Amino acid sequence: MAIEIREATIADIAQIIAIGRDTYRQHFADIWRNMDTFLDQDFSCAAVTACVSQRDKHRYLLAWKENELVGFAKLNLDTQLPGQAGHGVELQKIYLTRAAVGHHLGSQLLQTSLQIAATLQRSYVWLDVLKSNHSAQQFYRRHQFTVTGEIPFSTDCQEIGMWVMVRPLTAAELAMTAPTELTSLVSAS
């Protein structure tokens, strides 16, 4: 079964919004009483369009399986964490449908994100993950991320908190030469 990972275009905005809202509900409904305000802000047409349109600042990577959008990653390309040398890429989101979890799509999106960071000569990739999301923490640890701090996060019904996790890029990764224009990466599952 072929997996395609490609960068989002303006034509993909409606699908990003739909899958973003759906996957967030699938995975995080239990931490909210009413998540609509959050989703309306995070996945508004204006917010997603702004990110897709500003390739120098953001990238959405889309994961397709059998011509169906089953997940995505959102990257913020030039960020700096206090206490970290150099600039990094923030992996702001990896969202997969429940049916796509466990099929290595998250790993493929993460590897593509690391390749983009290396191509841009960033020193590290970082993210924040809910303290209560143990499976995601384990996933990121398997990919050499370590906890370096914590930040507050609350929903409309609870204070949860988030771990900040960082994965430095190695000299070998930074030495890789890859095209700066990422339009399509295809692999098999």
Stretch 159-170: mean pLDDT, rounded?
90
Model pTM score: 0.86
pLDDT of residue 185 exceeding 60: no
d(CA 21, CA 42): 9
- Check: CB of residue 130 under 8 Å from CB of residue 160: yes
Residue 122, SS3 per DSSP: coil
Query: pLDDT tier at 157 (50, 70, 90 boundaries)?
Result: confident
- With b meaning 16 or more CB within 10 Å and e meaning fewer, what string describes 17-35? bebbbebbeebbeebbeeb
Residue 172 confidence (pLDDT) above 80: yes
Q: What are the structure tokens assigned to 114, written together?
A: 């690391």
How confident is the model over 122-154, as pLDDT tens digits? 999 999 998 988 999 999 999 999 999 988 776
Q: Are 131 and 160 in contact (CB under 8 A)?
A: yes
Give 93-126 pLDDT, tens digit per residue.
998 888 888 878 999 999 999 999 999 999 999 9
